[in-house]
Amino acid sequence: MVQEQQIDTVDINVNMGPQHPSTHGVFRMVLTIDGERVIDVEPHIGYMHRGAEKLSETMDYRAAIGYQDRTDYLTQFMNEQAYCMAVEKLLELEVPERAEYIRVILCELNRISSHFMFLGAFGIDLGHFGTSFTYGFREREHIQDIFEETTGERMMYGYFRPGGLVWDVPDNFVQRVREVLPKSLQGLRDIDMLMTENEIVAARSRGIGIMSAEDAINWGLSGPMLRAAGVPWDLRKDKPYSIYDRFEYDVPVGRHGDVFDRYLVRIEEVRQSIRIVEQALDQLPDGPIMPEKMPRRLRGPEGEVYAAVEGARGEYGIYLVSKGGDKPYRLKMRSPSFCNLSALREMTVGNYVADAVAILGSIDIVLCCVDR
Amino acid sequence: MVPDDETQGEPEGAGDASASAKRAAEAKLEAEAKPENDAKPPEDEDPARPAPPPGGIADLLAEALPDVEMTAYQGMTDVIVEIARDDVSQVMKVAKEDPRLDLSFLRYLCGVDHQDEGLEVVYHLLSLEKKHEVVIKTRLGTDDAKVASVAAIWRAADWHERETRDMFGITFDGHPHLVPLLLPEDMTDHYPLRKDNPLAEIEEWQGDQLPEEGAGGSMTR
């Protein structure tokens, strides 16, 4: 050991991605390593940049909804909701009760399905092979079926509209959701039993990628990343939007801000989302799903609005500037994946190379949302 | 239907009792603080820019920064404060560090191209403790698109500023690593989100295919 310390070592640059199974999409990072330690990380993004913000400036308010589905393709409903909320604020549209309830139900189901995706992929990132992945995907598929029955699409729903919804849910919607919720809960238990106490998961995720509460705020982290650091910040509670103030649920927070806490927070969030969906189903009123007086063509006044929702990955916000007319003048998407990923270097430096994969996995990025 | 007020209570058993106690304490503080600063003379301003609510974030900013010239008004969703470009560093530093403001969270930072009226940089700041927020804006000339970086104040600004540089060609002085982020490294001659940057033909065409007045844009597909 004494001899080894005297040997001069050379720092090596290792390229990871853009085609790499553990980068969750087209993402590239260049690791500078000293032995097994990471001493620098340079993330490279933009492979998926399609200029969604610019394109939205050329579309009328309804047409741009499609681009919301294509940013974060795992939480489409939440993106649509943020966008529709922005347009509704601008045009001062009132969303009918029933539409609000259906939005909440779908958004929370979306959160559950997105977290199942995370839990599955996270297992693979930690070398847990495919069991957790198949568990996660099995449960996600049940929820995906409901989305398909409701919207007619598996991924690009385009179901929310400024003012409400494009059409009402199928007659058996409530019954179908009630069927699926116990399955989701059981699936969550399976994953919980499989991973939470697992030796591999603990060894690979405890105490790495730590972000203190102060750092997490400074880096603009949001969602489970921020809550895992011990900050009980949830837009649904702290800046209530839609009808979230009518439901009872808890906001889970972590204590250490490490990779394992991010996993635990997401596990608990699934339970809380199930609680919200159950309450929303009980309260679901009848009625219209669009305001009675809806202009045929949406024209915004001059002004600017910001609307944000608590997405599965954090705060997804739309900053919309209007100069009149039927198109946004400027549309900025505040993407939680982008903001959370920017702290990758901070979290990774000092850890082992293998941990870089676990840390990247714990951010739960969607590259389409990062690049927009 | 459950009435709003009853369910709006604190999150229980979320694992952090102190946080919920903090929330309660803050709510109390806010309630106490509100009636104090009520006397605010209504100013004769144009109706599109109503005065911000008295005792709110705009007044706190003015109080913390008495020497800085600021134009504050109530936007559609947030209080908007316009400042001069040269004051950005000073205002942002105080906004984060002054305990009355405590704007510790940068929600986003972005550019807006107002064509003849120059470029605009928008900072949306939020306080997680006090739950107030403010949009701070500054104007830059299109030919002289430079502003001080705030990446040293909020680390979150790091990537936002790099993105804004890519898209609008705004230089953030003092940024530690202002290199292209989303765009290729050799694409330095044009800035996609500026209004004078043309779209590809196919995209223009899509824009023209929008539903005509009265014909489309219906509520159903």
Question: Is a pLDDT exceeding 90 seen at residue A319?
Answer: yes
Instruction: Supply angle C-alpha A155, A161, A162, rounded to 5.
Output: 140
- The mean per-residue pLDDT over the stretch B151-178 comes to 89
Which residues from chain B sit within 8 angstroms of residue A63, using beta carbons? Answer: 210
- The mean per-residue pLDDT over the stretch A109-135 comes to 86
**Residue recorded with tokens 């900025």:** A332
A42 forms beta bridges with: A30
Q: What is the 3-class SS of chain A, one letter each residue? A: CHHHHHCCCCCEEEEECCCCHHHCCCCEEEEEEECCEEEEEEEECCCCCCCHHHHHCCCCCCCCHHHHHCCCCCCHHHHHHHHHHHHHHHHCCCCCHHHHHHHHHHHHHHHHHHHHHHHHHHHHHCCCCCHHHHHHHHHHHHHHHHHHHHHCCCCCCCCEECCEECCCCCCCHHHHHHHHHHHHHHHHHHHHHHHCCCHHHHHHHCCCCCCCHHHHHHCCCCCHHHHHCCCCCCHHHHCCCCCHHHCCCCCCCCCCCCHHHHHHHHHHHHHHHHHHHHHHHHHCCCCCCCCCCCCCCCCCCEEEEEEEEECCCCEEEEEEEEECCCCCCEEEEECHHHHHHCCHHHHHCCCEHHHHHHHHHHHCCCHHHHHC
A219:B14 CB<8 A: no
Q: Which two tokens stand for residue A258?
A: 């490490």
Question: Is a pLDDT exceeding 50 seen at residue B8?
Answer: no
Nearest CA in chain A to B215: A296
Give the phi and the psi of residue B63 in degrees, each rounded to 5: -70, -40
A179 CB within 8 Å of a chain B CB: no
Q: Which two tokens stand for residue B144?
A: 């002289």
Considering the entire predicted model, what is its pTM? 0.83
pLDDT of residue B53: 77
Question: Is a pLDDT exceeding 70 seen at residue A131?
Answer: yes
B107:A166 CB<8 A: no
pLDDT of residue B138: 92
Give the pairing type, strands B171-173 and B146-148.
parallel
Report the gap between the CA of A275 and the closest CA in chain B (Å). Answer: 13
Report the gap between the CA of A62 and the closest CA in chain B (Å). Answer: 7
pLDDT of residue A102: 92
Nearest to B12 among A240, A245, A250 (CB): A250
Q: How far is CA B13 from CA A232, B6, B21, B27, B143, in A?
A: 12, 17, 12, 19, 55
DSSP-derived 3-state class of residue B129: coil
Report the gap between the CA of A299 and the closest CA in chain B (Å). Answer: 11
Question: Is a pLDDT exceeding 50 seen at residue B63?
Answer: yes
- Locate the domains of chain B by residue range: 44-198
CA atoms in the 13 A half-sphere facing the CB of B143: 1
Give the phi and the psi of residue B153 in degrees, each rounded to 5: -90, -55
- The mean per-residue pLDDT over the stretch A63-71 comes to 86
pLDDT of residue A108: 93
A47 CB within 8 Å of a chain B CB: no
pLDDT of residue A6: 67
Question: Is a pLDDT exceeding 70 seen at residue B220?
Answer: no
pLDDT of residue B25: 52
Q: What is the pLDDT of residues A2-61, one digit of tens each?
A: 555 666 777 888 888 787 777 777 888 888 988 888 888 988 888 888 888 888 888 888
pLDDT of residue B202: 61
Q: Minimum mean pLDDT among A181-195, A222-236, A279-293, B7-21: which range? A: B7-21
Which residues from chain A sit within 8 angstroms of residue B8, using beta carbons? Answer: 240, 245
The gap from C-alpha A39 to its chain's centroid, in whole angstroms, comes to 29
Task: Give chain A's domains with CATH numbers.
Answer: 49-371 (1.10.645.10)
d(CA A144, CA A146) in angstroms, rounded, equals 5
pLDDT of residue B9: 40
Omega before A301 within 30 of 0, i.e. cis: no
pLDDT of residue B4: 42
Nearest to A45 among B11, B12, B181 (CB): B181
Place A120 in a pLDDT band, splitting at 50, 70 and 90.
confident
Long-range contacts (CB closer than 8 Å, 24 or more residues apart) made by A182-189? A183/A139, A183/A142, A184/A112, A184/A116, A184/A139, A184/A142, A184/A143, A184/A270, A184/A274, A185/A271, A185/A274, A187/A116, A187/A135, A187/A136, A187/A138, A187/A139, A187/A142, A188/A116, A188/A139, A188/A267, A188/A270, A188/A271
Q: What is the pLDDT of residues B10-47, one digit of tens each?
A: 444 444 445 455 555 555 545 444 444 444 444 555 66
d(CA B29, CA B25) in angstroms, rounded, equals 6
Question: Is a pLDDT exceeding 80 seen at residue A329?
Answer: yes
pLDDT of residue B208: 52
CA atoms in the 13 A half-sphere facing the CB of A43: 29
- The mean per-residue pLDDT over the stretch A111-133 comes to 85
pLDDT of residue A305: 92
pLDDT of residue B197: 78
Number of other CB atoms surrounding residue B36 within 10 Å: 9
Q: What is the pLDDT of residues A138-171, one digit of tens each?
A: 889 999 999 999 998 888 888 998 888 888 889 8
Nearest to A58 among B128, B206, B219 (CB): B206
The average confidence (pLDDT) of chain A is 87
pLDDT of residue B118: 87
CATH code of the region B44-198: 3.30.460.80
Query: With contact defined as beta carbons under 8 Å apart, do A314 and A224 qualify?
Result: yes
d(CA A79, CA A266) in angstroms, rounded, equals 19
B155:A218 CB<8 A: yes
Among candidate residues A367, A219, A47, A223, the one with its CA nearest the CA of residue B158: A219
